[in-house]
Amino acid sequence: MNVTLGVPRIKEIIDGAKNIKTPIITTVLECDNNAMIARMVAGRIGSTNLGQVAKSIGILMTPRQACIVIKLDMVMIRDAQLSIDVDVVKESILKVPRIKLKHENIQVPDNETLEVYSPDKDRRRLYFELYRLKSILPNVTVRGITTVQRVVIDESDVKKDKEDVQVKGADVVGKKYRLFAEGKGLLAVMSTEGVDGCKTTSNDIIEVQQTLGIEAARISIIEEIKYTMKQHGMNIDDRHMMLLADAMTSRGQVLGMTRFGLQKMDKSVLMGASFERTDDHLFNACVKGAVDKIEGVSESIIMGIPMPIGTGMFKVKHILPTT
Amino acid sequence: MVKSDLCWMKDEKADCEFDHGGYFIIKGAEKRVLSVYFKSAEIPLWIWFFALGVSSDNEVTDLIDYGKEDASISSILVASIRDADQRKDNFRRGKNALRYVEEMIKNTAFPPRESIEECISMYLFPNLRGLKQKARFLGYMVKSLLQTFRGHRKCDNREELKNKRFHLAGELLERELKAHVGHAGRRMAKALQRDLCGDRVVCLVEQYLDATVVTNGISRAFSTGAWCHPFKRMERMSGVVVNVGKTNPLQTMVDMRKTRLQVQYTGKVGDARYPHPSHWGRVCFISTPDGENCGLVKNLATTALVSTNILEPILPDFFSSGMEELVDDTSTSLHGKNKVFLNGDWVGVCEDSHDFVMKLRTLRRRKKLLHQVEIKRDEQLLEVRIYSDAGRILRPFLVVKNLNKIKESKGKKHTFQDLLGNGIIELIGAEEEEDCCTAWDVKHLFMEGKSAVKYTHCELDLSFLLGLSCGIIPFSNHDNARRVLYQSQKHSQQAIGFSATNPNHRVDTLSHQLHYPQRPLFHTMISDCLGQPGNPVSHNRVMPKPEYFNGQNAIVAVNVHLGYNQEDSIVMNRASVQRGMFKSEHIRSYKAEVENKFSLGKRRKPDDCINFGKIQSKFGSVDSLDDDGFPCIGAYLQSGDTIIARCSESGTDHSIKLTHTERGKVQKVVLSSNEEGKNFGVVSLRQVRSPCLGDKFSSMHGQKGVLGFLESEENFPFTIQGIVPDIVINPHAFPSRQAPGQLLEAALGKGIACGGQLLETSSWSTPRDKLLYATPFSTPSVDDITDQLHRAGFQRWGNERVYSGQTGQMVRQLIFMGPTFYQRLIHMSEDKVKFRNTGPVHPLTRQPVADRKRFGGVKFGEMERDCLIAHGASANLHERLFTLSDSSQMHACLKCKNAANVIDGTVDGSRIRGPYCRVCKSVDDIVRLNVPYGAKLLCQELFCMGISLKFETRLC
């Protein structure tokens, strides 16, 4: 598994990046000690292309007809526990956008073969139409969630309990299986049969926010930063991360610490203007007639007022002499 | 170029001995050209073939000669035929193809003026005359492309040195000159035309040629560094010219061997920065600057040579060695014959490539063919590629076959040219190196029980893969590469050493000179080769010139010392410093120009005519100056003194004054005039500086440190012999930096200083008298070093028994001590100390200035602000950023809440002096606010933009 770590990962989290480099959905299975079931569920989730399950895809040209013949490799399909047959393939081919094929263009002579005819009746362009289809067909997803690129089955050993001294033999009682799905589509993965939706998470914060809500996103930010730091052997007290996560999610959506995010976060014009995009902030504030209460640090520095943090948090009330 | 054939300095001996020339002097500054190295209408391929005269599709496929059986290739070919068909119908017939090509070319942005046939013959493969030959070449290109596509032929790697060429100063100058001469020519034509048309008198041709166009153009190119781009007419490449570094002679030499890769965008360069295996021996792996130029600026390796243009033709030699000419038709099959390419142009074919190549190589070794010619035989692709162009890097190898020739002429001195002429050494380029089977070292050639590999060549020495500055570092192969990089890139160029042997003739702005430079105790192979030929030779070995090493040997102890050498600082012996260790002098020159009396002509106002002369000035004291406005030699000047007095005839003072950081004794006063006719005067001030706290020192292994404390000699721990360390370095500097090279150097130095014994190395080589060499990659082993120390009577590992200087007690722990070569770097605390109470402020923002020279302040940046925020120190932050920076007052009107001005004038009849609100037009209800001046400035600037800030205030 190739997860982004280190400074680039922290940058992704703090920026609230919408497209992270390695989005991974950790799926917990309902029945997690059976390898075959794990593979079946993996087959359901992971996207399989036609090119991977077909034995051959070739152009057949006879004097009477010209078509593309697809032969499926049923042995491989059975081994991989995928439940694919010719009808499923036909449906998925038809679902491909912009393929311009209709029901009658695909014929199913038997359980393993499909014949695809060109929709274009023009004789001259027949050859090249078939070539075009031939180059598209191997990439058609026949099974699984399209946004998930691949699924890895993770096998971990379950150590026996310390109290269970009666069981002799090896320390390992059994194996536990989890799936790591690379890609997006948390909602689809959670609702797949065989997956325990309540325990499945993703490391992509925006996805978590869209699927599970803003509070879940807040926890997810904290967990992700903790995980990244732990991989480098560093421990940070939770409160720092809680502060950051609260600041990022206080507005109802995950706002990154970039000038876009800060723009949405901030009420203060001068603080935004002193961060980035000075003229934009000032012009917008002018148009709106914004009022800047000098509450933050940046604007206090600009105006020369002691900052209301730390020792400046309190003021002394004078009792002025009456005369 | 200085010391070139045209330079009058070529035979002069009066100048500095270190000066090798190779640089240019432009407007008084020495400039050097960095070698730069590199890497329009869409017409379908098939149409091209037919335009070149091929008559059928089948013939084209024959020309391409590849993959008729392969399905994917044939489908690609079919697709391209279809594409061509789509673009233009019936292109096979007659001249349709040619006309189509013509049409496409004329529609481009800058259509060429020639007809299409001339175009094709001139621009498309210009060296192949016949059209059919061109068709063949095109077919070859298509075949290569398809082969690459299928994976049978590797894509040419852009980063391999065999695909790169270096542009040297000559070529760059030629290009620039050509552009300017063309420019001058065009102007001349225009001027001539003007005179011819307008019925004016036509003068002699010489009067039209404006030579200053060329002079000024080249001068400007040198001053700015912006050079003509080789391919794009309009663009200029920048950064081609740099000042020659003259801090020490080593830096000058290293600077001369620098090269730079030209890329447009420094972001996505990626692979260009990485070293590539073809760089071995040609470009130094390690010395490249840290930072944005990392990997782009490279240094040549020690023995690398760059090839130049050759003017003699070499084709006749090819024909005599068995090449056949390329026939001008498309029908004879060339199947099975090897193609011969010269500099990328297809010149012929040959039957037996092995034989052909052997003959050419023998010619080259016998000096009948120039040494720079590179011959490569590619068996897989059936090609022989020969290169003779300029810009390739070559490096010398020993030729195994001719090694026995060395034995014949033993006892005589050989020069490099002799060896090259006899065929013992051969220059091999990057492309040909792939054919050679090279042995690491001479001893591998003679090993008993030889391996199955038959070596054709042998490396001269392993350490020659490094550049100059790395090769001097002892035991550099034991050090972490980063430390070696620091040393080679930064420290060796910042070290104070000998600057020049003719300091009395030179006037540099800043130059340094170490008072007592020393040669280090160790030798390396490369350091032995430095220096001019003709040096006195002792024991068959040339002593390296001490002036290339910029430092002194100091006795270094690795120990803690009262905690003063923590965090990379060092403790030095005060007594050594008082005896002159690392004492250096620094000379700084000040220049002033004066208008020449005759240059201005009649437009002189009394104010403009400035001359050197002493007047009583209010600026600075003129006590040390003579009547001509210049100080006497030997006078001591300090801050506040006038150094050069200039005044105009009307009495205004234009003298040059010393700032608060500069001082010194006057060393030299020079009066001269420059090329524009102006007189100028230069005064050099000399400062002698002993090491003081804060000065930076470094060993040769990237272990830099600042002087932390000058300890008296009696307080140092001493050995039985009474030796006291000069420098004490903290042991914490070694574990994380991983530079055991320094420890090895100290141990080796100790052994050498004691006069090592006769030592036998491996069985066949000549026994060396002393264990002197610390060459990287072929160093003596640790066992040898420890043996030497043991024989000299010291502890094996370099440790010493010491006694405390303060109490006299024996210290339980043994301390590592040994002589190490240390350098003094030019960063000295006196040049950097900055202090300010209140001082000058910036006129616009009224904040303190940043310059050191003008009493600037220290920047308190955003991150420092964040630290204070994190501590909650609000009042401290407020004081730092407001009270001590630009506190000031502003007025605001309470009624309309706008900012109010302070005026002094008449409004509506009444005279108002003081704050006044322009909006309410009244002086009532105006309050005074304490705001930073920057806020007031912001308010005013926003007001100019049309944004008004209103202030809501509260009494505090």
Neighbours of B931 (CB within 10 A): 24
Q: B822 φ, ψ to 5°?
A: -115, 150
In Å, how far is A133's CA from the nearest CA of chain B? 15
Q: How is B758-782 classified by DSSP, letter by letter?
A: -B--SSSSPPBSS--B--TTSPPPH
Neighbours of B723 (CB within 10 A): 15
Distance, CA of A43 to CA of A151 (rounded, Å): 8
Domain assignment of residue B753, yes or no: yes
Q: Which residue of B has its CA nearest to A314?
A: B874
Indicate whether B281 and B335 sit together in one domain: no
Q: What is the CATH number of domain A266-311?
A: 1.10.150.390
Determine the Cα angle at B566 with ends B561 and B569, to 5°.
Answer: 95
Q: Which residue of B has its CA nearest to A125?
A: B82
Confidence of residue A219 (pLDDT cuts 50, 70, 90): very high
Determine the Cα angle at A148 with ends A147 and A152, to 5°.
Answer: 175
Residue B179 contacts by C-beta under 8 Å, 6 or more apart in sequence? B217, B228
Supply the pLDDT for residue A66: 78
Q: How is B582-641 classified by DSSP, letter by letter?
A: T-EEEEEEEEEEE--TTTSTT---TTT-EEE-----SSSB-TTB-TTSSBPTT-EE-TTB
Residue B577 contacts by C-beta under 8 Å, 6 or more apart in sequence? B583, B690, B691, B710
Indicate whether B561 and B621 sit together in one domain: no
Question: H helices then E strands: how many in chain B?
Answer: 26, 43
The whole domain housing B736 covers 230-302+470-533+545-583+691-757+765-832
Query: Under a CB-based contact definition with an 8 Å cutoff, are residues A113 and A86 in contact?
Result: yes
Distance, CA of B248 to CA of B245 (rounded, Å): 8
Distance, CA of B714 to CA of B700 (rounded, Å): 28
Q: Which residue of A has its CA nearest to B78?
A: A128
**What is the distance between the terminal CA atoms of chain A, rounded to a whole angstrom?**
78
Using only C-alpha atoms, chain A has a radius of gyration, in whole angstroms, of 29
Of A131, A302, A307, Cβ closest to residue B878: A307
Beta-carbon separation of B869 and A307 below 8 A: yes
Q: Which residue of B has its CA nearest to A320?
A: B956
Of A128, A304, A313, Cβ closest to residue B882: A304
Indicate whether B695 and B556 sit together in one domain: yes
Question: Residues of chain B whose C-beta is under 8 A from some C-beta in A?
Answer: 75, 82, 865, 869, 871-875, 877-878, 881-882, 887, 930-932, 934-935, 938, 942, 945-947
Which residues of chain B does A312 touch, with a Cβ-Cβ cutoff of 8 Å?
Answer: 874-875, 878
Residues B93-100: contacts with CB within 8 Å, 24+ apart? B97/B47, B97/B48, B97/B50, B97/B51, B98/B51, B100/B43, B100/B47, B100/B51
**Edge-to-edge strands, sheet with B324-325:** B324-325, B345-350, B338-342, B383-387, B374-378
Identify the domain boundary among B789, B812, B832: B832
Query: Under a CB-based contact definition with an 8 Å cutoff, are residues B719 and B561 in contact?
Result: no
Domain assignment of residue B71, yes or no: yes
Tens of pLDDT along B518-560?
888 887 777 777 765 544 443 344 455 656 778 899 999 999 9
Supply the pLDDT for residue A227: 92
Domain assignment of residue B36, yes or no: no
Beta-carbon separation of A303 and B934 below 8 A: no
Indicate whether B310 and B435 sit together in one domain: yes
Distance, CA of A135 to CA of A139 (rounded, Å): 8
Beta-carbon separation of B947 and A282 below 8 A: yes
Q: Which element (helix H / strand E) includes B708? A: strand B704-711
Q: What is the total residue count of chain A?
A: 323
Query: Under a CB-based contact definition with an 8 Å cutoff, are residues A26 and A183 in contact?
Result: no
Distance, CA of B934 to CA of B928 (rounded, Å): 16
Of A282, A283, A303, Cβ closest to residue B935: A303
Beta-carbon separation of A302 and B942 below 8 A: no
Distance of CA B90 to the CA centre of its chain: 57
In Å, how far is A86's CA from the nearest CA of chain B? 28
Q: Which residue of B has its CA nearest to A299?
A: B935
Beta-carbon separation of B874 and A313 below 8 A: yes
In Å, how far is B894's CA from the nearest CA of chain A? 17
Identify the domain boundary among B406, B431, B459: B459
- Three state DSSP letters for chain A: CCCCCHHHHHHHHHHCCCCCCCCEEEEEECCCCCHHHHHHHHHHHCCEEHHHHEEEEEEEECCCCEEEEEEECHHHHHHCCCCCCHHHHHHHHHHCCCCCCCHHHEECCCCCEEEEECCCCCCCCHHHHHHHHHHHHHHCEEECCCCEEEEEEEEEEEECCCCCCCCCCCCEEEEEEEEEEEECCHHHHHCCCCECCCCCEECCHHHHHHHHCHHHHHHHHHHHHHHHHHHCCCCCCHHHHHHHHHHHHCCCCCCCCCHHHHHHHCCCHHHHHHHCCHHHHHHHHHHHCCCCCCCCHHHHHHHCCCCCCHHHCCCCCCCCCCC
Of B872, B887, B935, Cβ closest to residue A302: B935
Q: B657 φ, ψ to 5°?
A: -115, 155
Which residues of chain A does B938 touch, with a Cβ-Cβ cutoff of 8 Å?
Answer: 302
Q: Determine the angle formed by the axes of helices B782-792 and B740-753, rounding to 10 degrees.
A: 40
Indicate whether B399 and B485 sit together in one domain: no
Beta-carbon separation of A303 and B75 below 8 A: no
Q: Which residue of B has its CA nearest to A313?
A: B874
Of A128, A297, A304, Cβ closest to residue B931: A304
Of B869, B882, B930, Cβ closest to residue A297: B869
Beta-carbon separation of A310 and B930 below 8 A: no
| Strands (E) located in B380-531 | 383-387, 393-399, 425-429, 438-439, 457-458, 510-514
Q: Coil, helix or strand for B671? A: strand
Indicate whether B334 and B355 sit together in one domain: yes
Distance, CA of B704 to CA of B733 (rounded, Å): 10
Q: Which residue of A has its CA nearest to B956?
A: A318
Q: Which element (helix H / strand E) includes B709? A: strand B704-711
Identify the domain boundary among B817, B832, B847: B832
Indicate whether B818 and B676 sit together in one domain: no
Strands B393-399 and B457-458: antiparallel
Distance, CA of B159 to CA of B773 (rounded, Å): 35
Beta-carbon separation of B942 and A307 below 8 A: no
Of A286, A303, A311, Cβ closest to residue B874: A311
Indicate whether B740 and B799 sit together in one domain: yes
Distance of CA B625 to the CA centre of its chain: 42
Distance, CA of B543 to CA of B519 (rounded, Å): 10
Query: Under a CB-based contact definition with an 8 Å cutoff, are residues B657 and B640 in contact?
Result: yes
Listed residue (A145, A141, A148, A150) closest to A88, CA to CA: A141
Distance, CA of A3 to CA of A21 (rounded, Å): 8
Q: What is the total residue count of chain B?
A: 956
Q: Which residue of B has its CA nearest to A293?
A: B952
Q: Which of B75, B882, B890, B936 is best to mutate for the A interface (most A CBs within 10 A)?
A: B882
Determine the Cα angle at A141 with ends A139 and A145, to 5°.
Answer: 140
Listed residue (B331, B336, B402) closest to B364, CA to CA: B402
Supply the pLDDT for residue B803: 94
Q: Is A297 on the interface with B (CB under 8 A)?
A: yes
Beta-carbon separation of B869 and A309 below 8 A: yes
Indicate whether B405 and B490 sit together in one domain: no
The residue whose two tokens read 């070319």 is B105
Cα dist. A123→A66, A158, B722 in Å?
10, 64, 104
The residue whose two tokens read 């190779």 is B22
Residue A192 pLDDT > 50: yes
Which residues of chain B does A286 touch, with a Cβ-Cβ cutoff of 8 Å?
Answer: 946-947
In Å, how far is B32's CA from the nearest CA of chain A? 41
CATH number at residue B741: 2.40.270.10
Ordered mean pLDDT values, 10 residues apiece, chain B (956 residues): 59 51 60 51 64 68 62 65 68 66 64 61 62 71 70 66 75 82 83 76 70 81 73 62 76 81 60 80 84 82 81 74 65 68 77 82 78 80 80 84 68 69 81 82 67 76 82 84 85 81 80 87 75 46 62 92 91 94 91 69 54 68 78 85 77 77 87 79 90 92 92 92 93 90 89 62 36 65 84 88 92 92 90 86 89 83 91 91 88 84 76 81 84 90 87 81
Domain assignment of residue B914, yes or no: yes
* Total beta-carbon pairs less than 8 A apart between chain A and chain B: 53
Distance, CA of B9 to CA of B1 (rounded, Å): 10
pTM (two decimals)? 0.76
Beta-carbon separation of A310 and B871 below 8 A: yes
The better pLDDT of the pair B88, A205 is held by A205
Which residues of chain A does B945 touch, with a Cβ-Cβ cutoff of 8 Å?
Answer: 282
Which residues of chain B does A293 touch, with a Cβ-Cβ cutoff of 8 Å?
Answer: none
Supply the pLDDT for residue B764: 31
Tens of pLDDT along A11-60?
999 988 888 888 998 888 888 778 888 888 887 887 778 777 888 887 78
Q: Is A213 on the interface with B (CB under 8 A)?
A: no
Supply the pLDDT for residue B728: 95
B591: its two tokens: 């220049």
Level-2 CATH architecture, domain A48-143: 2-Layer Sandwich (3.30)
Query: Under a CB-based contact definition with an 8 Å cutoff, are residues B376 and B384 in contact?
Result: yes
Domain assignment of residue B52, yes or no: yes
Indicate whether B115 and B253 sit together in one domain: no
Supply the pLDDT for residue B296: 81
Domain assignment of residue B184, yes or no: no
- Most distant CA atoms of chain B, gap in Å: 115
Supply the pLDDT for residue B152: 66
Amino acid at B66: Y
Supply the pLDDT for residue B38: 40
Cα dist. B593→A299, B600, B610 in Å?
50, 14, 9
Indicate whether B346 and B426 sit together in one domain: yes
DSSP assigned state of B844: T
Number of domains in chain B: 5
Which residues of chain A does B931 touch, with a Cβ-Cβ cutoff of 8 Å?
Answer: 303-304
Distance, CA of B739 to CA of B741 (rounded, Å): 5
Of B874, B881, B947, Cβ closest to residue A286: B947
Indicate whether B243 and B317 sit together in one domain: no
Beta-carbon separation of A309 and B942 below 8 A: no
Tens of pLDDT along A62-112?
877 778 888 888 888 777 767 777 787 888 888 777 777 777 777 888 888
Q: Which residue of A has its CA nearest to B890?
A: A303
Amino acid at B213: V
